[in-house]
Amino acid sequence: MTTSEYLQQERQSRERHEYIQGQIYAMAGASREHNQLVFNLAGLLHAQLRHRPCSAFVADMRVRTRAHEAYFYPDLSVVCGEMQFEDEHSDTFTNPSLIIEVLSSSTEGYDRGAKFAHYRRLESLREYILVAQDRISIERYTRNEQGQWLLSEATELDQTLQLEAIGCELSLQAVYEKVLS
């Protein structure tokens, strides 16, 4: 399938599909915990980004990686500065500063591996965040000035994670509110 065919089909579909090098993949439904985490994260980021030149999006905004090779729907994404859209539809952008994925048992390996490999090709991406839904664990990958990705992890409810790419912070207590009790 070409990217044009994919986008035409996707814009008319009720379900969401990701596209990787000519293949489309249906997106699975999310658990209660997954949805609560995304809601918590979106609320925390919204409050901190309100008066800054950044825009945050949940789930339904597509991100295109280099040279039309892949299209994804991150759980959350943030663009700081002017958004670069693929076309006049303004539903696919190419310059996220930060991407957050909430892990599930069925997506964890993919989100850490193949999907992250595609995301790393985005020159604009400065941070990639993985949030576990079955335990308290947030992994933060940051791109340094040499282009290397460095990992830091927060695993205690009393920790706060700094998101330098967008000038925000995440309290693990707030992220996991109503999720793990």
Contact (Cβ atoms closer than 8 angstroms) between residue 98 and residue 126: yes
Tokens of 155: 């695993």
Domain of 84 in residue numbering reads as 31-175
Asked whether residue 180 is domain-assigned, the answer is no
**Total Cβ atoms within 10 A of residue 156:** 9
Asked whether residue 87 is domain-assigned, the answer is yes
Asked whether residue 21 is domain-assigned, the answer is no
Asked whether residue 48 is domain-assigned, the answer is yes
First to last CA, the chain: 44
Asked whether residue 115 is domain-assigned, the answer is yes
Indicate which CATH number applies to the domain containing 135: 3.90.1570.10
Q: How far apart are CA 180 and CA 133, in angstroms?
A: 8
Which pLDDT tens digit goes with each residue over 15-52? 899 999 989 988 877 899 999 999 999 999 999 999 99
Contact (Cβ atoms closer than 8 angstroms) between residue 143 and residue 152: no
Asked whether residue 135 is domain-assigned, the answer is yes
Contact (Cβ atoms closer than 8 angstroms) between residue 133 and residue 103: yes
Of all residues in the chain, what percent carry a pLDDT higher than 90?
83
What pLDDT sits at residue 69? 85
Domains contained in the chain, number: 1
Contact (Cβ atoms closer than 8 angstroms) between residue 67 and residue 3: no
pTM score of the predicted model: 0.94
Which pLDDT tens digit goes with each residue over 48-67? 999 999 999 998 899 999 76
